[in-house]
Structure 1
Amino acid sequence: MKLWMVIAAGLSIHLVFFFSIFEIYFSTPMVDGMRPHNSPLTPPAKRLVFIVADGLRADKILELTPDGNTPAPFLRNIIKTKGAWGISHAAVPTATRPGHVALTAGFYEDPTSVAKDLQGKEVVFDTIFNESRYTWSWDTPKFLAKVTGGNANRMFSKNYPGHMKWLAGLNAEDMDSWVFEETHNLIEKAKTDEDLNSKMAEDKILFFLHLGGIDHSGYIVRPSSQAYLDHIAFIDNGVKKVYEAFESHYKNDGKTAYVFTSDHGMTDWGAHGDGTPDETLTPLIVWGPGLRSPAKETKRFSDGLSKAWNLADIKRTDINQASMASFLSALVGIPYPMNSILPVPDELFNLTDNELAEMLFANLRQLVEQCEALRDAKQKTSIKLFFKPFKPLTDEGVVSLENMIRSKIDKKEYKEAIEDSRRGIEVALKGIRYYTTYDRQNLWFGIVSGYIGWMIYLVSLIYEDHCSLTTPNQGPQLSRRFKGLIISFFLLLSVMIFIVLYVQSTVWTNYFYILIPCPIWLAVCLRFDILKQMVFLASTLKSLFPYLFLTFCGLETLVLGFYYRDVMSVVIVLFAAWPWIFKREELDKRIVMQWSASCIAVAFFPAIPTGTRELNFNLVVFGGIVAIAVACIIVKTFASKQLAKRKLFLIFGFQICVLAICVFIVRHTAEMAATNRRTPFISQALSWVFLLLGAIEPLFVTTDIRCRLFTIALAWMSPFVLFSISYPF
């Protein structure tokens, strides 16, 4: 097989295997056709004001400043005197659309939702907004504008004006002030608009305020800055005025509930999307009818956050972000979103046993019905002979459980009904988990067997390429008849698997994941004669086993480095010491010293903490200047040793000029952002062009290893400088 064919096949196989990760671990199976469920009793609140501060970290709004003050005095006073507080734990990916899906639909959308968001795709699942009688919202076009399709008569959404959204030179408070102003305008309009006033007087209505400015503020000034805390104070004051306006409009009738939270947090350097605590811990502050008041803390949290925020004496309730949808639904008495996968967090409520029993029973019925819908969908796409349903939730068992709980509620045995509902909810959640991961083992087997087969095939190619000249054939070649039998077997196996997948109406992507091992193992089996020689040769290479063991340890250490960065520093230091121990007599002492010095310099970077970087563009500029100086020295060395032609020196010179321009762009952009001015379009365009050039430039350089490595390093130095905010590496 030619080299380019091996590379193309390997690239295709690894692309398929890469996308299988999303199919196996991050798929979001959606089912429909379910009935809505909600408590038949009058809900605690008639209306809900739902405020989401995009990108707001829990610690920044809840902790006290060094002088003992709080950046959010109104909301902190709510925690102490009126409502409940806690932490809402977001899930990866920590981004706007996935966070809002979890908050309003009750499940965690797969990571590809970020791509869906960029493509502007509409939301096709049930949310609290669809279930409400009326919804008024003010937010970005990222989410809610995609939900209102077909519901414009009861869902009224306004988006930020486009001129308010810039990536640099932005007064981020303008975005939030627009939301507050529009909310006040709606309340004022209701005073003269009878139709609007009548709609706002209904029950089961929502007001959704999406404050996107704090997210953009975090990008620009970073969450550790005073400007970020000032923005929190601005939001706190705006929430206070909105609260007072609603209470005044509804004449303090005590039927308006308020929920303040965030969709995700942000790192110290102004990023989000990952799963660090700074990105996943978001604030939760709730107050209003049916919600508990501040109480004495009786539970001890091991994270120490309550004590650090001086809130250790006030009861704290943590929830998973996806349980917010069921919480909001129960609060205003609308049906639970049909695909919500987490139970309602009843610890936040202050209800009678009757109200709590009905609320949990409705939640149980919603989860059980979702489990049954998943079962039916899976059964339709499976061969009945091999289908295995979730035994604890049979049709008879579900009917018996629901009848028993209903009977206890009717008999006013509320506490027993509550406990039975909670146990039933636990079983239903296990059933949902069972069906959503039903095909996972089949996919695992296909991917793992494909990986193993491809590795064996590559090893056989390497053996044939490097050993065939010195090692005679150790056995007869495969006969044509034997090859025909192998090909026929794998062809028949592939057809059988395809028929099974087709009968089960399997998702088309699963065809690739399950069928791809067949051609891989066919190629392996057709190299039986080579594999036989490899087995014979392996028995004579016992002396290499220690090196293979060290290689295995090195790979495991590399994987460990993804979780513990300091491990990488230790490994690099060992590399620095390696030539002094094993190659001291073979290598020039000056080369060994240069090698060791380079390794130790590189080992410094993994040891640098990732969460404490402050803005330091001067350091980035200094690093870029050093890189330019080193590049000039290396080019001069190449010229003296005549390692490259004139054409290549022109490429090297062009790369150095590009690096110099990137250094200038970083410095100029930093100055523009510091004075709230927008980055020029030419700087943005050049940055994208230089990013693409980094991947193309090395292709035009000779394959001489020294020239090629130098070109690759220099080509990617420019994007590194552009991406850096504190130190380039």
Structure 2
Amino acid sequence: MLLFFALGLLVHFVFFASIFDIYFTSPLVHGMTPQFTPLPPPAKRLVLFVADGLRADALYELDEDGKSRAPFIRDVIMHEGSWGISHTRVPTESRPGHVALIAGFYEDVSAVAKGWKENPVEFDSLFNESKYTWSWGSPDILPMFAKGASGDHVYTYSYDAEKEDFGAHDATKLDTWVFDKVQDFFHSARNNQSLFSKVNEEKVVFFLHLLGIDTNGHAHRPSSREYKDNIKKVDGGVKEIVSTFKHFYGDDGKTAFIFTSDHGMTDWGSHGAGHPSETLTPLVAWGAGIKYPQKVSAQQFDDEFLKEWKLENWKRQDVNQADIAPLMASLIGVPFPLNSVGTLPVNYLNNTDLFKAESMFTNAVQILEQFKNVNQMRKPRSYIKQEKFVEVVSLCEELIELALKGLSYYHTYDRFFLGINVAVGFVGWTSYASLLIIKSHSNLTRGASKEVKKPHHLLPCSFAAISVLVSCFLLIQACPWTYYVYCLLPVPIWYAVLREFQVIQDLVKSLSAFPLSHFVGYVLIFTLGIELLVLSFFYRYMLTAGLIAFAAWPFLTQLWTRAKITSLSWTFFSLLLAVFPLMPVVGREPDLSLVMGAGLLVLLLSLVVVTTLIKRKITFIKEELLVHLLQMLSTVLSMYVVYSTHNSLLKKQGLPLINQIVSWATLASSLVVPLLSSTILFQRLFSILLSLMSTYLLLSTGYEALFPLVLSCLMFIWIYMEQETLQQSGVSCKQKLTSIQFSCNTDIAQFRQLYLDDIRRAFFLPFKVKVTFTVWILKSFLLCLSSFDLASVYCFLTVFSPFMMGALMMWKILIPFVLVMCAFEAVQITTQLSSKGLFLIVLVISDVMALHFFFLVKDYGSWLDIGTSISHYVIVMSMTIFLVFLNGLAQLLTTKKLRLYGKLKSHFM
């Protein structure tokens, strides 16, 4: 069995890795020739302002008094330049947003997983093509463009990461730091001849990354005074910088200015998905080479924004975010970034038709270079010679669109071929696991022949021949080595399946004596159960429907007559848990009253349990009482820390140090304190709940604080229900639940063979895991990545640290899983089941679901869309492996006993 799980781990790793070769290969093409417009550019230098997290409506709208909160930018729109909306592409995050702005392409999905600040792959950018680039701002953004540049001509000036504090008193200091440093830079340039000569070169870029608006948006929401005041501060800072440039360069008219944002922000202070508040960002351009404002009487846009903003008379020109990179390259005359997929917005240019045509032609050649189809460019070149400039622009736009479609086609060319091979492997592996269950853990083949027949000698020869043929085909195609793995892996898997042909024959004989209606009924219920789990990944209310069906389970069997109180309790908590999948996962304000309420319920439950144990004279020594009092004190401290931290952040006083110390101490002790309690089943389970709930409260902001409590109550009742079900089936239970202990030593003779009803028990585990996944993972971790709502970790840290914050969120996710696994451990003990047999059933269920999700993986959309599709596939495919890990943790928590004055050891009584 150990060998089987080792092979299973390897197979599942291959299946998991396959999605990155099939769906998430880098779209970047290398080896192209740089393309630039052969005419003199209108600007010598470019200044790029990126106000991180700035929504378009927040900049353009008027305040309550009818005045603009960005008067300088609004004056530019009306008197100096051009404006519009920059439509960002999901995921609306800082890294992909800046890559689109500065490199002109939409970064592939796996980039963030490979490094937050480093370049996962080499790519060209406007900064790399410039003569010199100076940049100021966040250490999370600037390094990836400097380290990706060739040579030493991109200079970065970043503040310490500790300044990115969501609980800080004034986040505008992130922006004032940038403005002050730029002022100091030009003051130094006047007294430094070398620097002075560099900044007076042509093809120079100045990049100001302004993070204050984004930080204030996360901490206080975009509707807050802090967010809006930060916009005023940025507007004033931009005005000062423009004045500095005009003064330093003597107002030579050779400076182009671009003001935009990497992404917007939702009303509840998050970003990452595709809501218009996240994808609509401002774009204002002015200075050298930019068209002056155009008065119009009507515009093509159907939205009501123009009237609300009082800008309906100034022509609005929208672009895609990647279009800004070729615009900036055209303005200062540098080659277009090699991997740019943007289309030059010629309506922003104030230049001759010849310059526009040549620039558009350069844009088309640059994209077609990626498509390796430069010969198609003879026609537009002849149009330029004939001075048919409008036709050139139209033809080049069409060629760019065709080239981008061609790039996408070749990028996904092998997707179907690889997908079929992985699917064949999936089906084979699931079939083999099913045969292993039937052969080793069931009675279905008891009456069949037990004679073991060796496979025919032609079988291995046939599969060897298939392997050779597949290898030759891949060799001729010059495929990567990973293709050999995906295409050859199904061969040994199906060979293993066909070697069990005798088991298949025995199974058919056994089923022939089984009532057909019963068999069809079980298959139908099993299939419907799996489909319910699959649908629940997309429709949360399906879990509610499943929990309602579970609530009716005792009344559909004889359990109601045997244990009425337990059955009613099961129904009540099943219905209560059914509410959670219907709760909103985004767009809600923190509700500390629910967190405090959950803490009070934990304390009340603690008092009831302790009192009950004492009254029943159950083993409850002073050491046990001390442990429970310590856990109750930890719960009180957690409630206090949550409340005081929330108030401190509201007052902009940051995270108190004592609160931070208490939070980390509680987290560190949460896995140790339960080991001090008795290993008697319910006492240990309750101790684990108390200990983990203290940490969970620290990581909660609302209704989710009640979820582990309700889930645990249902788990406790589940243990009683399963023992009642087992007794109803005629299997004797040797011990009462109040005396059963968790133990490391398990007598294998106590295990029994699997029955059909055990499929239901095995199904309960992935279903409850799925309930936990939907209610909690989608709410916490994926939303943390996709919508960047990190309020849950503010009791531990407020300084931006993506990996530490992600680790805390992951532990919060694991807590309900640990509670479920500890309860499942108790069910296995009370029902005398082998964990190996149950895990094999879970493996089959998860692999059938994984095959569904393999073809539903997305390589486009927001972090939420992409991350959810990957997580659906990964979670169900690795569910067994994940549960094996959690089972080990659950065994540690349930079977080990730590004396206050002794060493860690197993507790036997």
TM range, normalised to the smaller chain? 0.7 to 0.9
Compute the displacement of 1:143 (Å): 3.5
Compute the displacement of 1:528 (Å): 2.3
Match of 1:109 among 102, 107, 110: 107
Compute the displacement of 1:52 (Å): 1.3
Alignment CA distance shift 1:439-1:604 (3 Å) = same
CA contact (8 A) 2:130 2:205 kept: yes
Bigger mean CA offset, 706-715 vs 161-170: 706-715
CA contact (8 A) 1:180 1:242 kept: yes
Matched residue, 2:210: 211
Per-residue Cα deviation, 1:480-512 (whole angstroms, up to 9, x for no partner): 4x2x54445445545665666577665555554
User: What is the identity, as a one-letter code, of the residue corresponding to 2:641?
Assistant: I
1:522 aligns with 2:499: no
Matches within 5 A, 1:408-419: 408-419=383-394
Alignment CA distance shift 1:165-1:423 (3 Å) = closer
Matched residue, 1:299: 300
Matches within 5 A, 1:477-496: 477-480=452-455, 482=456, 485-491=458-464, 493-494=466-467
1:427 aligns with 2:409: no
Rounded to whole Å, the distance in 2 between the matches of 1:60 and 1:680 is 32
1:722 aligns with 2:692: no
CA contact (8 A) 1:618 1:667 kept: no
CA contact (8 A) 1:71 1:229 kept: yes
CA contact (8 A) 1:81 1:294 kept: no
User: What is the identity, as a one-letter code, of the residue corresponding to 1:138?
Assistant: W
1:99 aligns with 2:97: yes
Alignment CA distance shift 1:217-1:587 (3 Å) = farther
Per-residue Cα deviation, 1:565-605 (whole angstroms, up to 9, x for no partner): 45554554555456557778556444444334334433433
Alignment CA distance shift 1:420-1:624 (3 Å) = same
Rounded to whole Å, the distance in 2 between the matches of 1:249 and 1:64 is 33
CA contact (8 A) 1:338 1:366 kept: yes
Bigger mean CA offset, 133-142 vs 14-23: 14-23
Matches within 5 A, 1:122-161: 124-149=122-147, 153-161=152-160
Partner SS for 1:728: helix
Rounded to whole Å, the distance in 1 between the matches of 2:493 and 2:439 is 18
Partner SS for 2:582: coil
Partner SS for 1:433: helix
1:180 aligns with 2:195: no
Bigger mean CA offset, 634-643 vs 39-48: 634-643
Bigger mean CA offset, 506-515 vs 644-653: 644-653
Rounded to whole Å, the distance in 1 between the matches of 2:632 and 2:6 is 33
Alignment CA distance shift 1:196-1:85 (3 Å) = same
Compute the displacement of 1:523 (Å): 2.9
Rounded to whole Å, the distance in 2 between the matches of 1:496 and 1:682 is 67
Compute the displacement of 1:33 (Å): 2.1
CA contact (8 A) 2:48 2:258 kept: yes
Partner SS for 1:196: helix
Match of 1:670 among 646, 651, 654: 646
Rounded to whole Å, the distance in 1 between the matches of 2:11 and 2:599 is 38
Matches within 5 A, 1:60-79: 60-65=58-63, 68-79=66-77
Matched residue, 1:407: 382
User: What is the identity, as a one-letter code, of the residue corresponding to 2:600?
Assistant: I
RMSD: 4.0
Matched residue, 1:388: none
Alignment CA distance shift 1:727-1:467 (3 Å) = closer
Bigger mean CA offset, 264-273 vs 333-342: 264-273
User: What is the identity, as a one-letter code, of the residue corresponding to 2:409?
Assistant: Y
Per-residue Cα deviation, 1:427-473 (whole angstroms, up to 9, x for no partner): 21112112222222233223322322222223223333554356422
Matches within 5 A, 1:13-28: 13-28=11-26
Rounded to whole Å, the distance in 2 between the matches of 1:265 and 1:525 is 56
Match of 1:614 among 577, 580, 589: 589
Alignment CA distance shift 1:558-1:714 (3 Å) = farther
User: What is the identity, as a one-letter code, of the residue corresponding to 1:208?
Assistant: F
| Gapped regions of structure 1 (runs ≥ 5) | 373-392
Matched residue, 2:787: none
User: What is the identity, as a one-letter code, of the residue corresponding to 2:281?
Assistant: T
Rounded to whole Å, the distance in 1 between the matches of 2:180 and 2:143 is 19
Matched residue, 1:246: 245
Alignment CA distance shift 1:122-1:445 (3 Å) = closer
CA contact (8 A) 1:50 1:209 kept: yes
Compute the displacement of 1:683 (Å): 5.2
Alignment CA distance shift 1:702-1:202 (3 Å) = same
Alignment CA distance shift 1:27-1:151 (3 Å) = closer
Rounded to whole Å, the distance in 2 between the matches of 1:143 and 1:608 is 35
Alignment CA distance shift 1:689-1:108 (3 Å) = farther
| Gapped regions of structure 2 (runs ≥ 5) | 706-909
Rounded to whole Å, the distance in 2 between the matches of 1:590 and 1:64 is 62
Matched residue, 1:231: 230
Rounded to whole Å, the distance in 2 between the matches of 1:693 and 1:495 is 56
Match of 2:504 among 521, 528, 531: 531
Compute the displacement of 1:560 (Å): 4.4
CA contact (8 A) 2:551 2:570 kept: yes
Per-residue Cα deviation, 1:527-573 (whole angstroms, up to 9, x for no partner): 22233444566675444545644554554454444445455545545
Alignment CA distance shift 1:446-1:286 (3 Å) = farther
Rounded to whole Å, the distance in 2 between the matches of 1:412 and 1:90 is 35
Compute the displacement of 1:160 (Å): 1.2
Rounded to whole Å, the distance in 2 between the matches of 1:325 and 1:710 is 59
Bigger mean CA offset, 107-116 vs 407-416: 107-116
Matched residue, 1:189: 188
Partner SS for 2:258: strand
Compute the displacement of 1:139 (Å): 1.9
Alignment CA distance shift 1:443-1:316 (3 Å) = farther
1:630 aligns with 2:629: no
Bigger mean CA offset, 634-643 vs 164-173: 634-643
Match of 1:52 among 35, 38, 50: 50
CA contact (8 A) 2:84 2:319 kept: yes
Alignment CA distance shift 1:486-1:603 (3 Å) = same
Matches within 5 A, 1:460-609: 460-465=435-440, 467-468=442-443, 471-473=446-448, 477-480=452-455, 482=456, 485-491=458-464, 493-494=466-467, 497=470, 506-507=479-480, 509-510=482-483, 512-534=485-507, 541-545=516-520, 548-549=523-524, 552-553=527-528, 555-566=530-541, 568-569=543-544, 572-573=547-548, 575-576=550-551, 585-586=560-561, 588-609=563-584
User: What is the identity, as a one-letter code, of the residue corresponding to 2:428?
Assistant: G
Alignment CA distance shift 1:155-1:625 (3 Å) = same
Matched residue, 1:363: 363
Matched residue, 1:35: 33
CA contact (8 A) 2:444 2:510 kept: no
Rounded to whole Å, the distance in 2 between the matches of 1:203 and 1:221 is 42
Alignment CA distance shift 1:404-1:88 (3 Å) = same
Alignment CA distance shift 1:46-1:569 (3 Å) = farther
Partner SS for 2:339: coil
User: What is the identity, as a one-letter code, of the residue corresponding to 1:97?
Assistant: R
Rounded to whole Å, the distance in 1 between the matches of 2:683 and 2:40 is 76
Rounded to whole Å, the distance in 2 between the matches of 1:158 and 1:85 is 29
Alignment CA distance shift 1:423-1:619 (3 Å) = same
Matched residue, 1:385: none
User: What is the identity, as a one-letter code, of the residue corresponding to 1:47?
Assistant: R
Compute the displacement of 1:39 (Å): 1.5
CA contact (8 A) 2:134 2:154 kept: yes
Compute the displacement of 1:180 (Å): 0.7
TM-score by length of 2: 0.68
Rounded to whole Å, the distance in 2 between the matches of 1:653 and 1:13 is 47
Bigger mean CA offset, 283-292 vs 306-315: 306-315
Bigger mean CA offset, 620-629 vs 58-67: 58-67
Percent identity, please. Answer: 39
Alignment CA distance shift 1:551-1:237 (3 Å) = farther
Match of 2:417 among 424, 442, 452: 442
Matches within 5 A, 1:688-727: 717-727=693-703
Compute the displacement of 1:405 (Å): 1.2
